[in-house]
Amino acid sequence: MKKVFEGKVISVKMQKTAVVEVLRRTPHPLYRKLLLKSKKYKVDTGDLNISLGDKVKIAETRPISKEKNFEVKEVLNKKPVATEIEEKTEIPKKGKKK
């Protein structure tokens, strides 16, 4: 059975490769407190346009290189670009208040 994870893109500095951080919650063996554990996976992006901060779904595949065994299946949430944020928010003009 292929492993499928959801994670956040933390690096896109390589060609056709991104680094995705997957968080999971596991209980402590003795105290049963839930702890956050993270793991970074190098994933193949193919032709998808992925940017820093996007949430993606990755799935296990055949080995593509020494460290790449996962590929991006779909982009779940795109992080808004600065131009999109500027269009949505109005910036008040400086001056005297009447």
Q: What is the pTM of this model?
A: 0.78
- Other Cβ atoms less than 10 A from the Cβ of 42: the count is 17
Q: 37, 10, 16: which is closest to 26 by C-alpha?
A: 37
Provide the residue ranges of all domains of the chain, joining segments of one domain with +.
1-47+58-70
Give the whole-angstrom CA distance, residue 26 versus residue 45. 28
Contact assessment for residue 24 and residue 37, using Cβ atoms and an 8 Å cutoff: yes
Architecture of domain 1-47+58-70: Beta Barrel (2.40)
What is the tens place of the pLDDT at every residue in 63-98?
A: 999 999 999 999 998 887 766 666 666 767 777 766
What is the tens place of the pLDDT at every residue in 16-72?
A: 999 999 999 999 999 999 999 999 999 999 999 999 999 999 999 999 999 999 999
